[in-house]
Chains A and B, each alone.
Chain A
Amino acid sequence: MTLVEPSDFPVAWPSPDAAELLWEHDAMHNPEQLLPLEQSFATLSMTDGFVRAARTYELPIEAVRTLFVRGWPYQATVPTSADPIELDAQASRAHQRLVAEFPGLGVLWSKQVLPEVEAELAMIGAPLACLDGTALADRFADATARFVRIWELHFLVVLPAYTVLSEFDELYRELFEEATSLDSLQLLIGQPNLTTILAEELWALAHRASPQVRDVLVDRPTAKVEAALDGVDGAASFRADLAAFLDRWGERIDMWDRISLPTWQEAPEVVIGQLRDLVLTPNDQSPSASMTRARKIAEEETTAARAKLAGYPAEVRALFEERLWQARTATVVTEDHGHFIDFGTLPRLRRLALTAGGILARTGSIDLPDDVFHLDLATVVDNLRAPGDARVVVRTSRRELAAGATQVPPPTLGKMPQHRPAYSVSRYQSKFFGEAPPSANDGGELRGFPGSPGRATGTARIISSLTDADRLAPGDVLVCTTAAPSWTSLFSTVAAVVTDTGGPLSHCAVVARELGIPAVVGTQHASTSISDGQRIEVHGNTGVVYLR
């Protein structure tokens, strides 16, 4: 069955068999177009990194392919077999392999994966001064190999981690037939992880500032804050505080795969913009106050679950406790890994890319250093070794991206397969990535999935980046395609969150639950159906957004 190809979204298939695959656009991780160099690394993380981990767990995945249509990323999975029975059988075996990892997951992350990731990151991020084109080309080759290994490690730990969460949720709902996924996941909240710790540190940065500095943060537009601090009481210690914060947390880029975007260190206005709203938010909504409340909820729900299970067989109670403990470990792992892997690799690759851009601009291969992002990895490396003229390539890339910039990429392209295995990875994927919402959206309401319980009403702001988030005022409702982990601090100040993408296990839902704000995820259309400035009512428990 061929999927509809919108007439304004032509696809140049790289080969005839490519058109036979199911290609999906992962708007949750890639809500925007990717530039060619970004495409190269995004591709490697999946075609090489992911596939190696998939093989380790014996998943029925032969290969992953990527396709970029005017910058819009698509991905297709090639299964190991065309036979549905064989696929399901292999998927079951893979499930057992993943379940076998559950008990040792915490150790796998902290003692095996994380140390190796940090070592690889250190090598990728080693100093780049005084390298000529050839030496830098060698560094790229080295960095690429390490990058692939880091992403293999990513999936080695993330695949079982998300499977644990999915299994716990399913066990809970088997045991308590009336329960929803929100109910089960409430037992897991309240554990500090790097996402919530980042939010707390940002909060602390805002609240440690002197009253005068805080006034500047609140009153001045973000771009004018730096200059306005001169001579203000407490400015020196605030600047020192900010510098220390950026030292610790500033090596980050705010969206997956986007090495062409500046880091927080390079563009601290992004941090300053978040501080304003934090200053205006009362203490009882601080991340640590929210986490304390979350911990209490988790304890109460756990006690209630244990009481209901008191008359159940010992084996059932033991299974519940085991999965609960494993799921709590997994929750921390699913948040922490991103800070090191998903986002830790990006600034280091960016530095490599900018250094290469400098060299290529000097040799005349490209006009400006920043043009380097418009070349794919092979072209960069080739031109470093043997300078050529890549300016046409840059111009073509810019043109393609401009053509794609006004388009809305269809969620899928190609052909729907006859059979998709119902195995655990795809079950957790649909909880993570979301599925089509339960029923069609109609005029007055928008349906998605429950992400975090509670109800709130507020003014909707359609936000596409942290810089854009400057427009948010405390009490607004954040509406976006996706919310990356670095957007966490916004969750302390908004009344609710609504997203296009994701399911109950997505980062947005997880963080919303930790910080105790209502969230509806996976609506598919919120960012285009809701108007900026519109009053909306968010019902987290039912997954419905009412539009006024």
Chain B
Amino acid sequence: MLNEAVQWLDAERALDVRRVGGKAVGLATLNRRFDVPPGFVVATEPTCSNSDRVAAAYAALGERCGEPEPAVAVRSSAVDEDTGDSSFAGQHETLLNVRGLEALTGAIEVCIASASSPGAVAYRRSKGLGSSTGMAVLVQAMVIADVSVVGFSANPLDETRFEIVINANWGLGPSLVGGTVTPDEVVVARGPDALFVKSRQTSDKTRMTVALDLGVAEVPVPRALRLAACLDDRAAISTAQLIVDAAAALGRPVDVEAAWAADRLHLLQARPIVATRACSQQS
């Protein structure tokens, strides 16, 4: 198997959270049951250079994806992130649609550096955490989403009701989680036999994030699609089912980020919900 400096999400051995961070461990757990984009974690290793291992891992990922230099999403996975008490949501870096080893290496460096960003440092202090114990970096195959969804396995306003609240927008995740766009909202409830769509609100979705040749950009949504619902009932129910299953797999209420691409639903992130009282999970 690969050296510990680089660990694959689908490794048979359980990942060491002290090396790869909470986000990666969470995804590795979910990877056994869900369609998580394939990838690896560059573990925290303050003294050694990872470049050869990263290069080898990237090449191996390329073989798995069927193209030599696949587009990847590069994300931080802090050691104490997403552990249930602290989510660090929005504090660390995410770089999307990175292609090529040189760009990947640069992206990894940016993610590692984000552990010492002023915002991250302030967040740690506010949570009573010590200084950073390390920053691992997740590298996964890029999903070019047609529709991005975020959802909560419990209604954040009233957790006693069994309802999945899903927000959706066209395109990739950033415009959805960034708060610049009013997304569609679909509430899925549990009926006697099955999940069903309880209510939906279709918004005027003015902007979306799309993949460029390299990187991503936020662009206007064509007028004809702004008021079109991103998720039909079937897709909403499938999304809700994923959220329910993810919560079951992690054993706690979760907020989920997922992406629909070519009619397949990919799980991007599942975080334990930090506060169960009414509060926004998005920064």
Contacts and interface: CB of A to CB of B under 8 A. Distances in A.
B222 A313 contact: no
Contact of A316 (B97, B170, B213, B216): B170
Given A171-B222, A174-B223, A315 B97 contact: no
Interface string B192-223: 00000000000000001011110010011111
Contacts of B213: 311
A313 B143 CA distance: 11
Contact of A175 (B147, B219, B228): B219
A: interface residue count bin? 10 to 19
A177 B220 contact: yes
Interface in A311-334: 311-316, 319
A310 B97 CA distance: 13
Contacts of A313: 145-147, 170-171, 208, 210
Interface residues of B, number: 22
Given A170-B223, A174-B223, A311 B210 contact: yes
Given A170-B223, A174-B220, A175-B219, A315 B211 contact: no
B225 interface: yes
Contact of A319 (B210, B211, B225): B225
Interface in A135-185: 170-171, 174-175, 177
B262 interface: yes
Nearest to B142: A311
Nearest to B147: A313
A311 B142 CA distance: 11
Nearest to A314: B146
Contacts of B222: 171, 174-175, 316, 319
Nearest to B97: A311
Interface in A103-137: none
B95 interface: no
Contacts of A316: 170, 210, 221-222, 225
Nearest to B214: A311
Contacts of B220: 174, 177
B254 to A, nearest CB: 25
B223 A312 contact: no
Interface of B: 97, 144-147, 170-171, 208, 210-213, 216, 219-225, 228, 262
Given A175-B222, A312-B210, A313-B170, 12 more contacts: A171-B223, A177-B219, A308-B212, A310-B211, A311-B210, A313-B146, A313-B147, A313-B208, A313-B210, A314-B146, A314-B262, A316-B222
17 contacts: A171-B223, A171-B224, A174-B222, A308-B212, A311-B210, A312-B171, A312-B210, A313-B145, A313-B170, A313-B171, A313-B208, A313-B210, A314-B146, A315-B146, A315-B228, A316-B170, A319-B222
